[in-house]
Amino acid sequence: MGAGVGTGTAAVCQLLRLGGVTAAYLDHASTTALRPEALDALVAQAARGAGNPSSLHSAGRRARVVVEESREALAAALGARAGEVVWTSGGTESDNLALTGLLRARRDADPVRRRVLLAATEHHAVLDCVEHLQAREGVEVTWLPVDGTGLLDLAALEAALVGDDVALVSLMWANNEVGTVQPVARAAELAHAAGVPLHTDAVQAVGHLPVDFAASGADLLSLSAHKFGGPVGTGALLVKRGTSLVPLQHGGGQELGVRSGTLDAAGAAASAAALTAAVADLPTEARRLAGLRDRLLAGLTQVPGAVVRGARPGAGRLPGNAHVTFAGCEGDSLTYLLDAAGVECSTGSACQAGVPQPSHVLLAMGLDAEEAAGALRFSLGWNSTDADVDAALAAIGPAVERARRARSSRTDRSRRRPRSLAGGVS
């Protein structure tokens, strides 16, 4: 270790606070660093020693107090009741529990309710879950269109709600790739008018936008702590009072029987601390990140062939999201080239990284595969700085130039290849 850094818990905390990396990290939408408040809460609870929150002895009761106080703090930060917070392992579990649990509850009450309404730009935690239900349980899916910025067509939603077979609507609060913010409250109004509940995947929104569960009208809301400075492996599903869910896992009956499993007191404490800090900082932090984002976009679009995707900067876009396509490039190549230059970003969702397919979000927005191929997502977070933006702007021009040369060279070689090799043995 470097000079001045010791060993043990204190050293780990010091290293985490110092960061330990020199790269310009611009992939906060994938995961962001632990906030100091979250780290302090995590270490403090871990240092208290053992204690299962479901145990009746003193250590268990102490752990239960931490869990319940954290539940109350999380609920207060999101305009929810404490009894509406169900602890989970993160966004994917929350989405799966919301969709599968709600669908089965609705179908048990009324077997005709087996149709789900989804925007084509949802996260794969939603899409893959519903496609699994479609294949295994006969669920029907109506795919709702979006416009060229990724915004839901509300008229199409209203039309799709006609009939008595709709089980639920799911609409993400803010898109994880292009940052477009969806009209969740209006969508919930339309759904409720048709007697249909609405789930929102708010993983990208919580801690970055004002989120009020009660005011949104949503019946269920998914969140994940590592997106706003909490620990990986902790999240929550907000469940509006009176909403029925069929549990996906069975055991000790924790979380009112909705989600069995030993509760993570340290994770809950750290998550609540991170969200409380994020919400307190939100008014000033959103402006700061939007300023950095706008400067980043202004520089990126100086590169010939660069096009900003998603909603225009403003209230309709996540403040820290900058999504750009670069004509004549492949996003994976750009990602590697930028990484070599000390700039870390992504082509889109980390859950799909390494999969050589164009983004389903961009295709749903009307781009063709060629246009979507050169996509990059730069996302800023609570510890982003001007230096990160400077590094990205210094690296992007040379990276695009090299990526275009490489792609052009591959295309030329393919065209010059003898027909017997290109098309098989003649």
Please provide residue 25's backbone torsions phi and psi, each rounded to the nearest 5 degrees. Answer: -90, 115
Per-position DSSP letters for 103-119, written without gaps between them = HHHHHHH-TT--EEEEE
Q: Is 351 a catalytic residue?
A: yes
Q: Which residues of 94-121 are buried (b: 16+ CB within 10 A; e: fewer)?
A: bbbbbbbbbbbbbbeeeeebbbbbbbbb
Tokens of 157: 């939603």
Determine the Cα–Cα distance for residues 246 and 101; give it in Å rounded to an integer: 4
Helix (H) or strand (E) segment spanning residue 323: strand 321-326
Write 300-309 long-range contacts (CB < 8 A, 24+).
300/324, 300/378, 300/392, 300/393, 300/396, 302/397, 303/396, 303/397, 303/400, 305/374, 305/400, 306/400, 309/149, 309/150, 309/178, 309/362, 309/365, 309/367, 309/375
**Cα dihedral: 303, 304, 310, 316 (round 10):** 60
Strands, sheet with 321-326, edge to edge from the N-terminal-most edge strand:
306-308, 321-326, 375-379
Determine the Cα–Cα distance for residues 13 and 43; give it in Å rounded to an integer: 8
H runs (alpha helix) in 301-385 = 331-340, 360-364, 369-373
Determine the Cα–Cα distance for residues 383 and 392; give it in Å rounded to an integer: 16
- Identify whether the C-beta of residue 208 lies closer than 8 Å to the C-beta of residue 179: no
Determine the Cα–Cα distance for residues 326 and 373; give it in Å rounded to an integer: 8
Q: Would you please indicate which residues are annotated as catalytic (active-site) residues?
A: 351
